[in-house]
Amino acid sequence: MTIAAVGILASAAVATTVAIASAGEVPRAHEGVMTKSAKAGADHAVFVQGNELAGNTIHVFARGEDGKLTAAGTYATGGKGGDQVDAPTDSLASQGSLVYDRGSRLLLAVNAGSGTVTSFRVEGQRLTDRRVVRSGGDFPSSIAVSGNLAYVMNAGGAGSVQGFKITSNGLEPLSRSYRSLGLKNDKIPLFSSSPGQVAFTPGGRQLVVTTKSANTIEVFPMRRDGRPSHRAKINDSAGGVPFAITFDKAGRMLVAEAQKSTVSTYKVRADGSLKVVQKSLANGQNTLCWLERAGEFFYGGNTGNSTVTGYRSDRHGRLALTNEIGIATPPSAMSQGVIDLAVTQDEKFLYVQNGTSGTVDGFHIGRNGSLTKVTTTAAGLSPFAESGMEGIAAM
């Protein structure tokens, strides 16, 4: 992201302001497979969303025991990628556009350019049983899963969330679950004013959405039937441009704030209101947007200067940087335009997308939260141009 683009994002915060396959389509297993999987653990894989405008794809990488990645195939989603207006390095301007659900063994991907969502059955490093459904709105950009429910955040227009049931046949729309976010965007939104992420709180009792230029965090208490309350509780963000969401082991919510590269920690109350636990911890970097947890550690992607920040949380939910300068790993020429992040289920490795470079870095996570680079791959991935890849998941 250029300095000018960072300024646009900050200014927006200050101002506060298709061809579609059906859910019942014939599965197209192994479509577009480029290479065969290398030897690796049966359930060790990293998935990267290409987000190509002409036809979205998922790039699969086998993960070795040492964290190194080997290309294992490319699969068409049956939808189109998207590019938000003026997006500098992150076409979808969101977190959670590609999600692996361990319970159902489904990989869920948004097709922002065609208003659809694709599910694949994951079999090791193979994707099968492709299913595509409408997202329920314009420009889907984030997905949240809890139990047998999935909610898709649509970033275009007024913005919305739409619920789905996770079934053996993929995603099935949940009637009467659509909720508007009350925003004012075009069908293809401006990157700085679109919502950042949808997420369930641990246990699935609330559904949370960050709205960047509105500087709010909307919380929908969930009913027992899997549908959100009709109105969200709208909370002011503690910091400017709230973007990514994650949770600590105790269920406290952490939100990355892009305007000044800060993180705030909240307790989410049952009625959807938020209590600030820790307000706006700065990391000294530029444009923190993405945030993921690995045990007691958290890692944030700073796209403005292509760095990754490490954080440690204590038992009271208080965050601190893992080092004084706020950089967990030094930047490199092959790692420009840091965007989305993914942590493996065993919490041993962190994988980072680099939008400008068109690469993925892999890091081993040390006992003290330090990061040691173990791999960089560009196999089949494209650097940001008219649009760029976004969305990464690991298992």
DSSP SS3 for 9? helix
Rounded mean pLDDT, 29-33: 35
135 half-sphere exposure, CB direction, 13 A CA radius: 31
| Number of residues that make up the chain | 395
Identify the pLDDT of residue 18: 33
276, pLDDT greater than 90: yes
- Integer CA distances (angstroms), 190 to 11, 85, 241, 261, in order: 13, 5, 14, 20
231, pLDDT greater than 90: yes
Q: What residues contact residue 120 under an 8 Å CB cut-off, 6+ apart?
A: 58, 75, 106, 107, 109, 127, 128, 129, 130, 131
pLDDT single digits (tens) 239-249: 999 999 999 99
Domains belonging to the chain, first-starting first, are 3-17+19-394 (2.130.10.10)
8, pLDDT greater than 50: no
Q: Which residue has the higher pLDDT, 88 or 347?
A: 347
Rounded mean pLDDT, 261-265: 98
Structure tokens at 274: 């938020």
**Would you place residue 189 in the very low, low, confident or very high pLDDT band (cuts 50, 70, 90)?**
very high
Rounded mean pLDDT, 55-70: 98
183, pLDDT greater than 80: yes
Phi, psi of 71 (to 5 degrees): -55, 130
How far is CA 355 from its chain centroid? 14
d(CA 3, CA 372): 28
Mean per-residue pLDDT of the chain? 90
d(CA 188, CA 372): 38
Rounded mean pLDDT, 92-111: 98
pLDDT single digits (tens) 278-312: 999 999 999 999 999 999 999 999 999 999 999 99
185, pLDDT greater than 70: yes
215, pLDDT greater than 70: yes
Rounded mean pLDDT, 6-24: 36
Structure tokens at 28: 């197209």
pLDDT single digits (tens) 147-165: 999 999 999 999 999 999 9
d(CA 130, CA 106): 10
Structure tokens at 241: 């441009």
- pTM greater than 0.85: yes
Identify the pLDDT of residue 222: 98
Phi, psi of 167 (to 5 degrees): -125, 180
From first CA to last CA, the distance across the chain in angstroms is 29
Identify the pLDDT of residue 137: 98
DSSP SS3 for 277? strand
14, pLDDT greater than 60: no
Rounded mean pLDDT, 359-384: 96
Identify the pLDDT of residue 325: 85
Question: 103, exposed or middle or buried, with CB in 10 Å at 0-12, 13-18, 19+?
Answer: exposed
- CA angle, 305 then 309 then 311, to 5°: 160
Q: Order the strands of the 195-200 sheet from edge to edge.
A: 195-200, 206-211, 216-221, 233-236
Identify the pLDDT of residue 74: 98
Identify the pLDDT of residue 37: 37
**Would you place residue 41 in the very low, low, confident or very high pLDDT band (cuts 50, 70, 90)?**
low
275, pLDDT greater than 70: yes
Identify the pLDDT of residue 331: 78
Identify the pLDDT of residue 16: 34
**Would you place residue 386 in the very low, low, confident or very high pLDDT band (cuts 50, 70, 90)?**
confident
Q: What residues contact residue 168 under an 8 Å CB cut-off, 6+ apart?
A: none
**Would you place residue 329 in the very low, low, confident or very high pLDDT band (cuts 50, 70, 90)?**
confident
